[in-house]
A and B are shown apart, each in its own frame.
Chain A
């Protein structure tokens, strides 16, 4: 199989043997271990949990550890590059700082009101709010959605699908005590109102989360808060 790897300097071509159930991460690892040890890339868990191995594969952002070559290399060719919309460090490694800083800017940390002396909050798994939160909490922070997002490309200040999805799961969390602060943080040109509902994030999310639905929820919630004069 012909593999074209977009490196910092230029595109480099490699010939990699095909194997059954081979993943794109297997291919990159083969290149780094057998063909060119200077190739920089990032991975950790290899099983779709850590969110560190995402790359652009044949033009599409994907988690490489769970992307089978058979499913993406139609004409026995792979083009592998770093994620888009993120600063490049080297070869296939991008700088994720801004991506995670935006989670902080969207107030993506949980703030509860109870201490260890209090009893557990009783939250019904069937409540609409809990279901809405549950729909988004499996995010692994791989930045595939961020890389796929056209709005991020056009507006670098935009918080992006993952950070907004995170904020939405916390707004819908019954234990959260600062939902209104999160709505204030995500309203506006850099936040949920910048989303054009292209749904690239939802199409590409390897965990089948719909950040688009989360962002639509934030738009509704901020609108309600604005009408009540709370925003």
Chain B
């Protein structure tokens, strides 16, 4: 049951990430036209709730998706299975979420 839910979560977040990455890359290509400055980026993101929500969703999806993939890598490559792998991955997920949201809030406020 748990692993089925993890698989489902990874597939759903993969779909979300596919959209997020395309939007992110398109924005980068658009933004670098005619030079790139911190002021220009912040001018776009400061106080913009749409970008706040977009990047918060992006970060949340990455924080769910990456640890599930890493779980298989740790199991197959390092033979690391059992409860401590799961504990490490929960910690890893929260770390991604924490730093990601810090960055999102940083460019919003």
Chain A residues engaging chain B, CB cutoff 8 angstroms: 151, 154-155, 187-189, 193-194, 196, 219, 222-223, 225-227, 231
Contacts and interface: CB of A to CB of B under 8 A. Distances in A.
A223 B81 CA distance: 23
Contact of B76 (A154, A187, A188, A225): A154
Contacts of B5: 226
Interface of B: 1-8, 11, 72, 75-77, 81
Which of B11, B75, B77 has the most CB atoms of chain A within a 10 A radius of its CB?
B75
B4 A231 contact: yes
A65 B71 CA distance: 41
A151 B72 CA distance: 10
Contacts of B81: 189
B75 A189 contact: yes
A180 to B, nearest CB: 12
Given A189-B3, A226-B1, A231-B1, A155 B75 contact: yes
B3 A188 contact: yes
A227 B81 CA distance: 26
A189 B4 CA distance: 9
Closest 7 A/B residue pairs (Cβ): A154-B76, A188-B3, A226-B4, A193-B7, A222-B4, A187-B4, A231-B1
Contact of A188 (B4, B8, B72, B77): B4
A187 B5 CA distance: 10
A192 to B, nearest CB: 9
B5 to A, nearest CB: 6
A187 to B, nearest CB: 5
Nearest to A156: B79
A194 B72 contact: yes
A193 B5 CA distance: 10
A231 B6 CA distance: 14
Contacts of B2: 188
15 contacts: A154-B76, A154-B77, A155-B76, A187-B3, A187-B4, A189-B81, A193-B3, A193-B4, A193-B7, A194-B72, A196-B72, A222-B4, A223-B8, A227-B8, A231-B4
Contacts of A227: 8
B102 to A, nearest CB: 32
